[in-house]
Amino acid sequence: MSVDELSEMGPVDYLVLEFPGNRMTGEGLPLLLELVERRIIRILDLSFVRKEADGSVRALKLTDMDGDGELDLAVFEGASSGLLGENDLQEAAAVLEPGNSAGVIVYENVWAAPLAAALRRSGARMVANGRIPPEDLMAALEAVEAGSAS
């Protein structure tokens, strides 16, 4: 990827999604595909790992998650930008409970690319970012409501 291509990219995020007991049903897969098809995100890397009961970690292959005989993640086979290395997968697995598996996704926020590129051209730079978990947001809203009801 060239410097020019990088300068036009949107923000890049990652997710580590834990699946208790290795139960990946594929239920969220159509929604992920829709985000890609609508050009909201672009999958740069997608890997799966499993943490065994003894704490050892192994990579998982793309599978037929819903048992219909079709490879559910074939559309992402080969989605590897090289951003995720073995050390990253080991680090991701470190937060897993033994016996669980995880999907590790690195994705570009394509929807934000024009804004991000314009801000970079104007000299702006991101100095902090973060996420607010839905549970924290709900607690904050409930606290505001409780305070305004007094």
- Residue 97 sits at φ, ψ, to 5 deg, of -80, 145
Nearest C-alpha neighbor of 108 from the set 116, 100, 118: 116
The type of residue at 93 is: A
Tokens representing 99? 């016996």
Measured distance CA(14)–CA(106) in Å, rounded: 4
Can you give the residue ranges of every domain in the chain?
3-148
- In this prediction, residue 23 carries a pLDDT of 77
The pLDDT of residue 62 is 59
d(C-alpha 44, C-alpha 70), whole Å: 23
- pLDDT by residue for the chain (150 residues), tens only, comes to 677 777 889 999 999 999 988 777 778 888 998 999 999 999 998 888 889 999 888 887 655 444 454 545 555 554 566 778 888 888 888 999 999 989 899 999 999 999 999 999 999 988 888 888 899 999 999 999 888 776
